[in-house]
Amino acid sequence: MNAAPLLSASGLAAGYPGRRVIENLDLQIAPGRLTMIIGANASGKSTLLGVLARLTAPEAGTVRLDGIDVATIPRRQFAQTVGLLPQQPTAPDGITVAELVSRGRHPHRGVFSRWSAEDSRLVDEAMTKTGVAGLADRPVGDLSGGQRQRVWIAMALAQTPRILMLDEPTTFLDLSHQIEVLDLLIQLNRAESTTIVVVLHDLNLAARYADDLVIMSDGRVVAHGPPAHVLTAEVIAEAFSLDALVMDDPLTGAPLIVPVPGGAHTRADTA
């Protein structure tokens, strides 16, 4: 197995026309670990993920993959290493699970190359790992939200990325399906040593599942490291404008965030 690649950003600035969201941001994503990016609405989480995944170009600064500026890496070559599952992906009407998962092989196939036995093996393996092999012939549109999310993750796995990025993969899922998706990501990370980067909105789930947290506020990284080291009442107040107690979860030992009644402050940002 190839060594897990190092993804880093230096002096990063990014945003939208007329609004800069991230300014002078430095970050290293630890190889082979599950990193979750958290923060209040409009803190720059998805903007950061989009730039790291080369979905959007930075206004300043550099993103590097194993020391190489990603802007110089051919797009198809980059996609062979880094996979992205965006928020609320949409599938063509009528497409089956197997057909959608097969699209993950596109970065590895030339314009004139034929579908190979290796392609089939990797698609089947991705569906098995995510528990959707029995749904292979079902239309994606007929599936439940949790099933669809597992299919999208299977497509990303068929891409065989060494870094997998997911933007809010549990949005609109009920709690049991959120746990199901996060358990799956943990299994993939531990079994394959895949570097996984997730934007998540639930602070306690992030604390429970992440090896490392990147905590953002107003386009800045205010804390970065293992949850037990960085989740303090002071950091939560700065990043979320929330007074909270931090204690050990009696079941997992992970930090457990308990908001103080009446302790929320009004923020100037919006969703």
Same domain, 215 and 177: yes
Whether 100 and 77 map to the same domain: the answer is no
Residue found under tokens 């528990």: 131
CA dist 230 and 120 (Å) reads 43
Q: How many other CB atoms are found less than 10 A from the CB of residue 65?
A: 21
Whether residue 140 sits in one domain with residue 95: yes
Domain end (from 117, 145, 160): 160
CA distance 120 to 130: 16
Computed on alpha carbons and rounded to an integer, the radius of gyration of the chain in Å comes to 19
Give the CATH number of the domain where residue 26 resides: 3.40.50.300
Q: DSSP class of residue 30?
A: P
Same domain, 146 and 20: no
Same domain, 173 and 227: yes
pLDDT at site 1: 43
Whether 97 and 173 map to the same domain: the answer is: no
Full domain range(s) for residue 265:
1-81+161-271
Within 49-207, strands assigned E span 60-65, 68-69, 82-85, 163-167, 195-199
Together in a domain, 31 and 62: yes
Out of 160, 192, 208, a domain closes at 160
d(Cα 106, Cα 174) in Å, to the nearest integer? 32
- The two structure tokens encoding residue 20: 């800069």
What's the rounded Cα separation, in Å, for the pair 79 and 136? 24
- Whether residues 64 and 98 share a domain: the answer is no
Half-sphere exposure of 87 (CA within 13 A, CB side): 12
Three-state DSSP class for 211?
Answer: coil
**pLDDT score for 264:** 64
Q: Is 132 in the same domain as 174?
A: no
CA distance 265 to 242: 6
Give how many domains the chain has, as a whole number.
2
Q: Provide long-range contacts, Cβ within 8 A and 24+ apart, for 102-109.
A: 102/158, 103/155, 103/158, 104/154, 104/155, 104/156, 104/157, 104/158, 104/159, 105/158, 105/159, 107/76, 107/79, 107/80, 107/159, 108/80, 108/159, 108/160
Which residue is listed with tokens 């051919």? Answer: 74
Q: Say what the pLDDT of residue 5 is.
A: 76
Identify the domain boundary among 133, 160, 187. 160
Contacts of residue 266, Cβ cutoff 8 Å, sequence gap at least 6? 241
Q: Are residues 191 and 112 in the same domain?
A: no
pLDDT at 192: 87
Report the alpha-carbon distance of residue 169 to residue 150 in Å, rounded. 10
In terms of domains, do 245 and 165 share one? yes
Verify that 250 and 212 share a domain, yes or no.
yes
Q: pLDDT tens digits for the chain (271 residues)?
A: 456 778 999 999 999 888 899 999 999 999 999 999 999 999 999 999 999 999 999 999 999 999 999 999 999 999 999 999 998 888 999 999 999 999 999 988 766 678 899 999 999 999 999 999 999 999 999 999 889 999 999 999 999 999 999 999 998 888 998 999 999 999 999 998 999 999 999 999 999 999 999 999 999 999 999 999 999 999 999 999 999 999 999 988 999 999 998 766 544 443 3
pTM, two decimals, is 0.89
